[in-house]
């Protein structure tokens, strides 16, 4: 009898652990690339708004907020896309598609994560709270954009860059023109890398009727992504000039240029696997730009 109870207990523990793992997969905790891509522009904004010395409390809230909101966004996105995901090779094993997590469980998880996010933002000032409400609405709208408009990547860009005006509001109590310039810069970057991401799924998206900039651009996709990346560098130079950043920042841009050239080499043949590698490489791009900002504030004038 004790042995039977022990086996049941072990089985129950294994089941709970497996279910927790499925929730983690639904939140994309096993694939943190999206968290990093959401975090980098937020960190750009925090460091520039704080002139190299962001408030530790604000920094902590924003890092936690990025993790929580990215997780919540993934849960809601998979809930909204669960019928489409079954028709796309890359997404057929997602927990909602495979039945390992039910739609009701997904909604409960989304509400729980959203509650945590609300608790975090309530520690910030009123302007930051107002911007957070707008950001949450954009996050909810995004999954449905790909059904109706050909540029859902633009909506994603608005959402993923929204941490920048929020960072300035939390750090300084205002959203100056520099904040909006940095936000527009991040938006261009996000549209570029998410177009590369959409190139991975283009054939499946065409078959099931999902819209994207990769489909809209057609055979001009590589040219237009390259054009967006050139515009991104011009915007980053303008950001640096406006913020008074110097040599270390320019060195960061130099490393970023090398990474963008590497991405161009990967996507020019439109091979899905190489396009996915190019998309992932944007994590390093965001990191070297941030490193340039941090180093410039640390060593400028030394």
The CA-atom distances, in angstroms, between 89 and each of 16, 24, 206, 270, 275 are 28, 21, 13, 17, 15
Cα separation of 41 and 183, whole Å?
Answer: 8
Using the Cα atoms of residue 85, residue 86, residue 92 and residue 94 in order, give the sign of their dihedral.
Answer: positive
pLDDT given at position 69: 92
* 28 φ, ψ (degrees, to nearest 5): 65, 30
Which class for 241: exposed (0-12), middle (13-18), buried (19 or more C-beta within 10 A)? exposed
**Of the candidates 88, 97, 33, which has an alpha carbon nearest to the alpha carbon of residue 212?**
88
pLDDT given at position 17: 86
pLDDT given at position 302: 47
pLDDT given at position 4: 54
Q: pLDDT tens, position by position, for the chain (302 residues)?
A: 565 555 666 676 777 888 888 889 989 988 899 999 999 999 999 999 999 999 999 999 999 999 999 999 999 888 887 877 777 777 778 888 888 888 899 999 999 999 999 999 999 999 999 999 999 998 888 888 777 788 899 999 999 999 999 999 999 999 999 999 999 999 999 999 999 999 998 888 888 888 899 999 999 999 999 999 999 999 999 999 999 999 999 999 999 999 999 999 999 999 999 999 999 999 999 999 999 999 999 997 54
Cα separation of 195 and 227, whole Å?
Answer: 12
pLDDT given at position 148: 79
pLDDT given at position 98: 82
Three-class SS state of 201 = coil
Cα separation of 62 and 39, whole Å?
Answer: 9
* Structural domains of the chain, ranges and CATH numbers in brackets: 24-299 (1.10.357.140)
Tokens of 223: 């040219």
Whole-model pTM?
Answer: 0.91
């Amino acid at each position: 009898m004790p042995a039977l109870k022990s086996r049941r207990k072990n089985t129950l523990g294994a089941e709970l652990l497996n279910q927790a793992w499925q929730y983690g997969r639904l939140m994309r905790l096993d694939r943190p690339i999206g968290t990093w891509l959401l975090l980098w522009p937020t960190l750009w904004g925090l460091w520039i708004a704080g002139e190299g010395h962001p408030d530790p409390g604000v920094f902590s809230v924003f890092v936690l907020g990025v993790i929580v909101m990215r997780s919540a966004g993934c849960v809601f996105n998979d809930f909204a896309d669960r019928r489409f995901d079954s028709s796309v090779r890359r997404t057929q094993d997602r927990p909602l598609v495979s039945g390992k997590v039910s739609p009701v469980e997904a909604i409960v998880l989304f509400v729980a994560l959203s509650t945590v996010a609300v608790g975090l933002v309530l520690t910030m000032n009123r302007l930051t709270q107002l911007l957070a409400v707008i950001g949450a609405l954009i996050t909810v709208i995004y999954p449905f954009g790909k059904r109706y408009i050909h540029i859902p990547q633009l909506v994603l860009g608005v959402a993923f860059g929204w941490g920048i005006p929020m960072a300035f509001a939390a750090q300084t109590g205002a959203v100056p023109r520099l904040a909006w310039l940095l936000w527009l810069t991040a938006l261009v970057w996000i549209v570029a890398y998410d177009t590369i991401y959409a190139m991975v799924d283009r054939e499946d998206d065409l078959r099931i009727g999902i819209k994207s900039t990769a489909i809209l651009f057609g055979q001009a996709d590589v040219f237009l992504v390259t054009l967006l990346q050139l515009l991104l560098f011009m915007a980053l130079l303008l950001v640096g000039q406006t913020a008074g950043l110097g040599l270390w920042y320019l060195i960061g841009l130099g490393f970023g240029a090398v990474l963008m050239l590497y991405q161009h080499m990967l996507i020019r043949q439109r091979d899905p696997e190489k396009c996915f590698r190019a998309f992932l490489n944007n994590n390093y791009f965001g990191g070297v730009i941030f490193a340039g900002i941090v180093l410039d504030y640390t060593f400028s004038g030394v």
